[in-house]
Chain A
Amino acid sequence: MSSMSTAQQPASGNASSEPKPSWNPLKCSGTDLPKNLAIMVKTLAIAALIVNHVRILPDPWLPFVPFLDRFPPVLFQKTLQTLFLVSALAIVFNRRIRLFSLIIGSTMLVAVVSSKAYYGNNKTFCGLMFLLAGLYKPGAPNFFRWQLAITYFGAGLNKLLDPDWQSGIFFENWALNRLHQPFYIALNSRLPPLVLARFMCWATIVTELAIVPCLMVRQLNSAVVFCNVVFQASLCLFEGTTFTLFFYSMTACSLALVKWPDQPAPVFYDPSRRVSHVARRFFTAWDLDGTFHWIPLESTPRGRSPLYLFAGKTVYSGFRALQMIFLLNPVTYFILAASIASLQSMPADVGTFLRRIVVGSSLVLLAPPFAWILDRLSGPGTLSSHPLPGPVHERLSA
């Protein structure tokens, strides 16, 4: 994801050169937000709609802001629900998504402060993601980066100063007595007491606190995005839940840290190979925003990669190129969010199992190490990384 992750701030949308926003929910171009932010809020809106989050929006009950319980409860709740639903649908269908991000974010944050029964870190963070997208201003600092840093700092600091985290007692109780985590139990039984628990606690503390300074170093952006996604996915895999909206929000936040290609990304393919045509047909079928521009290579020496992707200043070849074509297509994120969220309605054990399958397989298939291994394993003449052929090389030097 290196070319996607060099941005210090989200790229600005260019309304004049882009098409009008489409009603097609799978499209993202032409909206009043940069594409990465549009994908982020649409992904969150899809997840929130599918898990039917609107049903748990509260009436005022032990509010953090006292005057809120002076509103008529039913009117208050119905207003929140209406605003939430209308905004989420507007975002999904590309209608004034910056404005409606502002509205849905504000709605969620008002809900958070209006009821201690509804209050939760996941809802607060999700509301903040929407709100910050709604407040997006070209040229302003990337506030998503700041928000992620504060979140990890708060989480890491609280654990660091908690004796139950220092000793491992928290993790031992959580994994053994609450989750009955079979892998943890199996491994724990082979180790001295609390060794594994202490390791897991300190690994969590170090990860959370280490991400904070890394977020401020531009050169480490790719690593931060990778660590954030892997860390959140690991939590989801371990517990088997999405922690209500936390998993969606924290992973989607990574999208705000990367830069999407401003222009259609050229994909050079070898027209003499059948696999190239299969890949082109497959990916073109769901490239609804025209993110990629497929160009046949004029000459491809034997044994070279049949596929090259240019994204920003980075060139990808082989399986890494295929992986990046998945990652740069917004539909990938919509499908992932929708498939994970739709498991909410299943019986708990089935949903947990399938959620782990979806999250785990996505993590493996879309992470750089998998493509790297495939590229190393594949021999000459297959989809693998190779020196650039003539026309591509010319483009690189241009």
Chain B
Amino acid sequence: MRVIIPLLLFAFQLGAIVYARFVPTRYFCWAPYDTQTEYWANATVNGHALTAPEFRHRYRRPRHGFDNRSPQHVIDMLQQVEQKRAALGEKASVVVEYRVNGKAPQTWRWPSTSPQREVD
């Protein structure tokens, strides 16, 4: 057991490293501080625009912040919260503008849509 558990953990990590090549997320694949994402987000729930404290309480992130991993990690959190809340009957819309490594801004919206370049 004291050998098998470490071996299983290593196999899992190697699998995660390979898996990360095919998806935008970077979970469990040892990519710390490989991407700098700056984002600005706004959310409206049942017609009410969330204040900064309300936003932090709902998504456990600030409305404006940084993430030192893939932007998909930020998007994942917002999206998964809304998927869960939608089942409870809440109607929310979220708009996230983000920059990856200081490059041109992109936008993600909930519901729907994949990331798009901002049109000047």
Contact = CB atoms under 8 A, between A and B. Distances in A.
Given A159-B34, A170-B36, A119 B103 contact: no
B94 interface: no
B93 interface: no
Nearest to A153: B17
A143 interface: yes
Contacts, number: 99
B33 A116 contact: no
Contacts of A132: 6
Contact of B2 (A61, A119, A136, A151): A136
A154 B36 CA distance: 18
Contacts of A169: 101-103
Nearest to A147: B10
Given A136-B2, A161-B21, A174-B36, A154 B103 contact: no
Contacts of B103: 164, 169, 173
Interface string B21-56: 100001111111111100000000000000000000
A161 B20 CA distance: 11
Interface string A123-162: 0100010011001110011010011001111110111011
Given A150-B14, A158-B26, A122 B32 contact: yes
- SS of B interface (majority): loop
A308 interface: no
A313 interface: no
Contacts of A146: 6, 10
A104 B26 CA distance: 25
B88 interface: no
B28 A158 contact: no
Given A135-B5, A135-B6, A64 B27 contact: yes
Contacts of B14: 150
Given A158-B30, A174-B36, A143 B77 contact: no
Interface string B96-113: 000011110000000000
Contacts of A62: 76-77, 80-81
A246 B13 CA distance: 17
A257 to B, nearest CB: 16
Chain B interface size, as a band, is 35 or more
A388 interface: no
B119 interface: no
Nearest to A140: B3
Contact of B30 (A135, A151, A173): A151
A165 B34 contact: yes
Contacts of A150: 10, 13-14, 17, 30
A320 B57 CA distance: 54
Interface residues of A, number: 43
A375 interface: no
A172 interface: yes
B68 to A, nearest CB: 9
Contacts of B80: 62, 116
A243 interface: yes
A274 B60 CA distance: 61
Interface string A41-64: 000000000000000000001101
Nearest to A164: B101
A178 interface: yes
Contacts of B34: 155, 158-159, 162, 165, 170
B10, B16, B29, B30: residue with the most chain A Cβ atoms closer than 10 Å: B30
Nearest to B84: A62
Given A119-B27, A121-B30, 11 more contacts: A62-B81, A116-B77, A121-B32, A135-B6, A143-B6, A150-B10, A154-B16, A158-B34, A159-B34, A173-B102, A177-B102
Interface of B: 1-3, 5-6, 9-10, 13-14, 16-17, 20-21, 26-36, 60-61, 66, 73, 76-77, 80-81, 100-103
28 contacts: A62-B81, A64-B27, A116-B77, A117-B61, A121-B31, A135-B6, A136-B2, A140-B3, A141-B3, A146-B6, A147-B6, A147-B10, A150-B17, A153-B17, A154-B13, A154-B16, A154-B17, A154-B29, A155-B32, A158-B34, A162-B35, A164-B35, A165-B34, A169-B101, A173-B101, A178-B36, A243-B32, A246-B32
Interface of A: 61-62, 64, 116-117, 119-122, 124, 128, 131-132, 135-137, 140-141, 143, 146-147, 150-155, 157-159, 161-162, 164-165, 169-170, 172-174, 177-178, 243, 246
Top 5 A-B residue pairs of the complex, sorted by shortest distance between their CB atoms: A154-B30, A173-B102, A121-B32, A158-B31, A117-B60
